[in-house]
Structure 1
Amino acid sequence: MTQEETRPIASVDHGTPEELDGTLVFRLGYDGAVYSGFAEQPGQTTVAGEIRRALETFLRREIELTCAGRTDAGVHAVGQYVSLPVHESELEVTRSRWMRALAALLPHDIAVSGVYHAAPGFSARFDARSRTYTYRIVTGDAPPLLTRSVTWWHRLPLDVDAMQDAADRLLGERDFKSFCKTASAVGKPTHRCVMEATFAREQALGEECLAFTIRGNAFLHSMVRTIVGTLVEVGCHRRDPVWVDEVLAACDRAAAGPTAPARGLCFMDVAYDNGALTVCP
């Protein structure tokens, strides 16, 4: 290792104890391939566990960490947000210092892209107005090469117009119990509001994919991947678009299509009220 790699990162000197009187918010991304999801789990390698370790190392204290949305094992992110209450002295840490410290303390597959201040009591989860996910699919005989870890290779052609017709039926406030992992829906509300559900062609590293973007106030466990698996059934002409209406009405996971693979899903962004976040100087 080089001298730069072994040089210790300076942590915050709190001085005398203070009340927690502000909130730090981080925008981050991660390659979810090796993680057992975002949420911490005993004996598992998780995104939240790595972030907590890095922040507690830098701040030299235990923290209370809140995320905008928990992602499943293997799911990626470019616009996840996490918040934590902090002391006044910790709010004085500059953005450049945070970026240097976290680049050194986090593993190579997790990266912070933004640092913000928010009012005391702000929550990355409960103050979120909407969340956006994109699921990427590659079709055709040739598998993706450079994008293979972030796309689902589906050999059969897909009727995008039919899939869009089916996706339009998900818009608005609905009961999405049919699109939720059964065990996680027991005794919990399953109504959500979908504000956008659209398909578009994208190119990355010379490879083309079909990108399905969905935006909603919140999402249930495995909801987006189950929606994608259901829409692909329509795109393959195994089902008609109107079938989605029947799936919604059934309120039964068995009525929907299969769950699409985790690797194609990416948590893209979170929307907050204007002025809720202030860029860290």
Structure 2
Amino acid sequence: MTDTHDTRGGRMEPIDTAEDLRAGTLVLRLGYDGSAYSGFAEQVEQKTVAGEVRRALETFLRREIDLTCAGRTDAGVHAIGQYVSVPVDAAELEVTRTRWMRAFAALLPHDIAASEVYHAAPGFSARFDARARTYTYRIATGDAPPLLTRSVTWWHRWPLDVDAMDDAAQRLVGERDFKSFCKTASAVGKPTCRNVMDVSFARETNLGEECLAFTIKGNAFLHSMVRTIVGTLVEVGCHRREPAWIDEVLAACDRAAAGPTAPACGLCFMGVDYDEGALHVCP
């Protein structure tokens, strides 16, 4: 397979894509406001984050790319630490960080930003080389709705028993079958066991507005898993269920056993853990 491109803006030169793209991997750390997007993954005739990132990269590189992400966020979900990887050739590895950042600032829409550019070894995958992923869900419980943070916070309105929610959340830690917390159609014929490494609650103040932040770290997550966990924990926080109910939900392996799915707006993909030394900031 051959392609033509020139990252330096000159004459288009043919390259043997299969061979030349073994030189290395370009890795981007992305942030985005997911409000206007139908999720990260590309979909026909839908506005997606991946679609916009692909358009920007292919415009700059003047060729088609193979784009892989660390996690496919749902419609309306935000990110500050999403990672994507793209195989590149030797000439593309010579592009400086300054030039990449200027290109992304010009080519990406206002609600998507590349916050860092890395190099990784040939064959590196933002998805398959990830060791852990971290998400944070933010809930506002005040009498007044959040104003400046309304697009990234769920206004629940009512007080929550955080101690009870934490008791329930700790029961999720470890290797578990999370089928009850997965969108039903997505669980058919697929493995649903995941390893949740840590969960925690904290009070945050952002732009003068307070919220309750629930953070969860795991090796990977199922479709709508974090939002369903949050909706289930809120049932406990409202004293509609006891913390031990979580054990029953896990054992049921049935989406109907869990609580409602929390709104997408409160969820943010915070970051990804990779092996030390796997990524090197682009010079």
Using the size of structure 2 for normalisation, the TM-score is: 0.95
Aligned to 1:5: none
User: 2: distance between equivalents of 1:249 and 1:102?
Assistant: 46
Aligned to 2:175: 173
Aligned to 2:100: 98
Q: Letter of the aligned partner of 1:83 in structure 2?
A: S
The within-5 A match list for 1:27-176 is 27-176=29-178
Give the SS at the match of 1:85.
strand
Is the alpha carbon distance of 1:14 and 1:160 closer, same or farther for their aligned partners in structure 2, counting shifts above 3 Å? farther
Give the SS at the match of 1:41.
coil
Cα offset, 1:155, TM superposition: 1.0
Q: Is it true that 1:17 corresponds to 2:15 in the alignment?
A: yes
User: 1: distance between equivalents of 2:14 and 2:140?
Assistant: 56
Q: CA RMSD in A?
A: 1.2
User: 2: distance between equivalents of 1:202 and 1:55?
Assistant: 35
The within-5 A match list for 1:213-252 is 213-252=215-254
Aligned to 2:272: 270
Is the alpha carbon distance of 1:261 and 1:233 closer, same or farther for their aligned partners in structure 2, counting shifts above 3 Å? same
Counting aligned pairs with the same residue, the percent is: 81
Using the size of structure 1 for normalisation, the TM-score is: 0.95
User: 2: distance between equivalents of 1:13 and 1:126?
Assistant: 36
Is the alpha carbon distance of 1:51 and 1:251 closer, same or farther for their aligned partners in structure 2, counting shifts above 3 Å? same
What's the CA shift string for 1:45-87, capped at 9, x where partnerless?
A: 0000000000000000000000000000000000000001001
Give the SS at the match of 1:241.
coil
Cα offset, 1:238, TM superposition: 0.3
Cα offset, 1:17, TM superposition: 1.5
Aligned to 1:4: none
- Picking from 198, 201, 204, the partner of 2:200 is 198
Cα offset, 1:181, TM superposition: 0.1
Aligned to 2:262: 260
C-alpha contact (below 8 Å) 1:12/1:58 kept by paired residues: no
Q: Letter of the aligned partner of 1:17 in structure 2?
A: I
Q: Letter of the aligned partner of 1:174 in structure 2?
A: R
User: 2: distance between equivalents of 1:175 and 1:280?
Assistant: 39
User: 1: distance between equivalents of 2:221 and 2:14?
Assistant: 42
Number of positions where the alignment pairs a residue of Structure 1 with one of Structure 2: 273
C-alpha contact (below 8 Å) 1:11/1:58 kept by paired residues: no
Give the SS at the match of 2:175.
strand
User: 1: distance between equivalents of 2:267 and 2:170?
Assistant: 20
Cα offset, 1:140, TM superposition: 2.1
Show structure 1 runs of 4+ deviating over 6 A.
none
C-alpha contact (below 8 Å) 1:10/1:58 kept by paired residues: no
Segments of 5+ residues of structure 1 without an aligned counterpart are: 1-8
